[in-house]
Amino acid sequence: MAVIAFHGDPLVKAQALDRLQRHVTAGSFVYFPAWENGNANVIGAVVEADDTPAYAERLGYPLALAETLPMLVNGFRPQPEAVRFALAWLERTPVGADLTTIVSQLVLDLLANADLVKLTERYPDVEQSRQAIMALHRRAIDGDEPDRKTWKAARLAAVAATDAVDEAALERRAAQVVEAAAWPGTMRTVLRDTLNGLGTAELHLSLSEAGWTEENESRVFHIRQQAETDGYKAELSGLDRVLAILDADHPALAEQFRVRLDLMEESSARYRALAWKAIELMEQAPIAATRLAAQ
């Protein structure tokens, strides 16, 4: 069944934009929660409820895409950037665009990630699963949607491949990304889980290559916790306080911690890149009437 943006009705788009803009103007647009005490996130602003399926149904977006939208918005900081993206999401989605294959296109983009491939290629069964699942998403894009039995077989193979990788290994996280993608684009969480898994895998790979360890993470945590107990540098707060403490007492760790922060920011860029990619794909999607006329 085709998924048509705004059900081909410009008034549906206009109403959604108006509701979102009203929250932006009123200062009640937030990252989360979706709908509480007059505040609303990108979903709640439109449907005035914490109801992602209602958002997808009302506006004609694939449910998996709507489910991922708050995560995408959360990747934009500070908030004015999140607002800019949220408005662009609606403004740049063409009325009547056939969004049926958008989710599979985005999943393919994630599965082709170079860092992911670097890890999956170390385990032949994991790499085989990656390629097999990409092939199924390509079939769906071409209009030959695999049946449930085919998806299940691919998913079971991916689970088996994941289970064969040591739990502490980075490759295990990569295998879990492949496993998360082993669902059709109609599955509510397929895009969200694949994106989240890839973001986590990339971050851990980057941190490992930079020499940041779990011991470092634990050490910073305990230093911060002790400072809270002692009231050390209490004139500062949040990240500024942590950096001030590390600079004063642990300069080598402070330098490493700044590298960690930079890598965290690079990880957020993955979410922003996919966010703009989604908009570009929607802009390029065929308009339903045009597609029907060609059939």
In the three-class reduction of DSSP (H, G, I as helix; E, B as strand; rest coil), residue 294 is classed as helix
Structural domain boundaries of the chain?
102-184
Q: What is the Cα–Cα distance from 23 to 187, expressed in whole angstroms?
A: 30
Q: What is the Cα–Cα distance from 276 to 75, expressed in whole angstroms?
A: 11
Q: What is the Cα–Cα distance from 134 to 108, expressed in whole angstroms?
A: 6
Six token digits for residue 242: 């942590």
Q: Determine the pLDDT at residue 244.
A: 95
Q: Determine the pLDDT at residue 289.
A: 59
Question: What is the β-pairing status of strands 39-40 and 35-36?
Answer: antiparallel
Q: What is the Cα–Cα distance from 111 to 181, expressed in whole angstroms?
A: 8
Question: pTM of the full predicted structure?
Answer: 0.89
Tens-binned pLDDT, residue by residue, of the chain (295 aa): 799 999 999 999 999 999 999 999 999 999 999 999 999 999 999 999 999 999 999 999 999 999 999 999 999 999 999 999 999 999 999 999 999 999 999 999 999 999 999 999 999 999 999 999 999 999 999 999 999 999 999 999 999 999 999 998 999 999 999 999 999 999 999 999 999 999 999 888 888 888 998 899 999 999 999 999 999 999 999 999 999 999 999 999 999 999 998 888 887 888 999 999 999 999 999 998 544 434 4
Six token digits for residue 33: 């929660």
> Can you list the pairs that 156-164 forms with residues at least 24 positions away whose Cβ atoms lie under 8 Å?
157/125, 157/128, 157/129, 157/132, 158/126, 158/129, 158/133, 158/182, 160/125, 161/123, 161/125, 161/126, 161/128, 161/129, 162/126, 164/123, 164/125
Say which amino acid occupies 231. Answer: G
Q: Determine the pLDDT at residue 263.
A: 86
